[in-house]
């Protein structure tokens, strides 16, 4: 018989993988251009609503909606990047914060208008809702699949960054933007592509999140805080950092709510503050 802690670790790790998908794009783009994009989770929310709409209104199977969530979020993010973000790469922190908070508010209102403010359930097939018992503990199939998808994507990301030309450009731009430009790398274009990919991943994360945490218009703000914690604790521009920080945060959150429900979220913020004080650039951040 496995003690319940393994169940907690499993659920926590699954939640962490979700947070990873939501955060990795934000971490890399922040590390590259130092652009604080608080609207990142609005793209995640978009992905979630795309999945919900496709499944409930058009009867699509769940897995078919996932690429659409990714693409929709990526495409919309490109639009925002062209229209607004591009002008603010050199702007102050405050301006970036304000612009992107404004976009969050708009997205929340639009979501409420189009979809209403109630939580949206997903009509998932039975096998995805089931769980299997292993050594006395119940493990949800959905969470297992989510972990598998996240790990596959992590592998894909790491391979891309380490072994492709594009990945080398990303690494160079994150490491030293000015020098990368000096070497002839089109940093703006690399950033635009990375931004689109990161937002797409957020959209995918949003789609996967519906079953785990539910979806309503406040998603964009609620999960923003978690994403920011993952990004700042993990370190800007680091995929490894996001992975580790997300896993830590996911496990701490689930464990906290299970073992000490009274203080729950307080612990998360406290740990974040302590970690940031110890490593202001994040666990895997530069310099």
Site for another protein, rule CB under 8 A: 30, 34, 36, 84, 87-88, 91, 93-95, 97-99, 101-110, 112-113, 117, 217, 225, 228-229, 231-232, 236, 262-266, 269-270, 272-273, 276-277, 280-281
CB of 180 to another protein, least distance (A): 17
Phi and psi for 36 in degrees, rounded to 5? -80, 105
What minimum distance in Å lies between the beta carbon of 1 and another protein? 34
Of residues 211 and 216, the one with the C-beta less far from another protein: 216
Q: Are strands 131-134 and 137-140 parallel, antiparallel or unpaired?
A: antiparallel
Sign of the dihedral defined by the CA atoms of residues 158, 148, 76, 113, in that order: negative
Write down the least CB distance from residue 178 to another protein, Å.
Answer: 12
Q: How far is the CB of 143 from another protein (least distance, A)?
A: 26
Name the residue nearer to another protein (CB basis): 67 or 116: 116
Do 38 and 26 touch, CB atoms closer than 8 A? no
- 229/251 with CB nearer another protein: 229
Determine the number of helices (DSSP H) and then strands (DSSP E) in the chain. Answer: 12, 2
CA atoms within 13 A on the CB side of 37: 34
Report how far residue 250's alpha carbon sits from residue 14's, in angstroms, rounded to the nearest whole number. Answer: 7
- Pick between residue 68 and residue 236 the one whose CB is nearest to another protein: 236
> Residue 115 CB, nearest distance to another protein (Å)?
11
Residue 150 or residue 254: which is nearer to another protein going by CB? 254
Q: Which residues contact 5 (CB under 8 A, 6 or more apart)?
A: none
Rounded least distance, CB 235 to another protein, Å: 11
Q: Interior CA angle at 228 toward 24 and 141, to 5°?
A: 55
Give, in order, the Cα–Cα distances in Å from 158 to each of 78, 147, 167, 186, 284: 23, 16, 9, 21, 15
Structure-token pair, residue 246:
């997300």
Q: Please tell me whether residue 273 adopts helix, strand or coil conformation.
A: helix
Write down the least CB distance from residue 263 to another protein, Å.
7
| Separation CA 214–CA 121 (nearest Å) | 7
Contact 207, 2 (CB under 8 A): no
> In the complex with another protein, which residue's Cβ is closer, 121 or 264?
264
State which residue, 93 or 162, has the beta carbon closest to another protein: 93
Task: Supply angle C-alpha 284, 232, 80, rounded to 5.
Answer: 115
| Minimum CB distance to another protein smaller for 31 or for 205 | 31
């Amino acid at each position: 018989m496995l003690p319940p802690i393994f169940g907690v670790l499993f659920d926590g790790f699954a939640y962490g993988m979700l947070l990873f998908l939501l955060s990795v794009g934000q971490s890399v783009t922040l590390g590259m251009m130092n652009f604080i994009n608080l609207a990142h989770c609005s793209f995640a929310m978009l992905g979630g609503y795309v999945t919900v709409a496709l499944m409930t209104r058009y009867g699509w199977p769940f897995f078919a909606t996932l690429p659409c969530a990714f693409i929709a979020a990526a495409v919309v993010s490109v639009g925002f990047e062209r229209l607004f973000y591009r002008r603010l790469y050199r702007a102050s922190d405050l301006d970036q914060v304000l612009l992107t908070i404004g976009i969050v508010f708009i997205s929340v209102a639009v979501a409420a208008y189009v979809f209403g403010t109630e939580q949206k359930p997903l009509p998932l097939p039975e096998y995805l809702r089931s769980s299997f018992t292993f050594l006395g503990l119940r493990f949800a199939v959905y969470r297992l699949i989510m972990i598998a998808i996240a790990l596959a994507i992590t592998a894909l990301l790491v391979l891309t960054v380490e072994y492709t030309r594009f990945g080398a450009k990303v690494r160079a731009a994150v490491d030293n933007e000015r020098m990368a430009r000096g070497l002839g790398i089109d940093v703006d274009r690399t950033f635009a592509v990375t931004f689109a990919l990161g937002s797409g991943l957020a959209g995918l994360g949003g789609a996967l999140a519906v079953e785990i945490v539910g979806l309503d218009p406040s998603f964009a703000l609620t999960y923003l805080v978690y994403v920011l914690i993952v990004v700042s604790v993990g370190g800007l521009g680091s995929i490894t950092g996001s992975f580790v920080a997300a896993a830590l945060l996911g496990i701490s959150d689930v464990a906290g709510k299970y073992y000490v429900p009274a203080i729950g979220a307080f612990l998360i913020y406290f740990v974040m503050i302590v970690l940031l004080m110890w490593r202001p650039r994040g666990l895997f951040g530069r310099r």
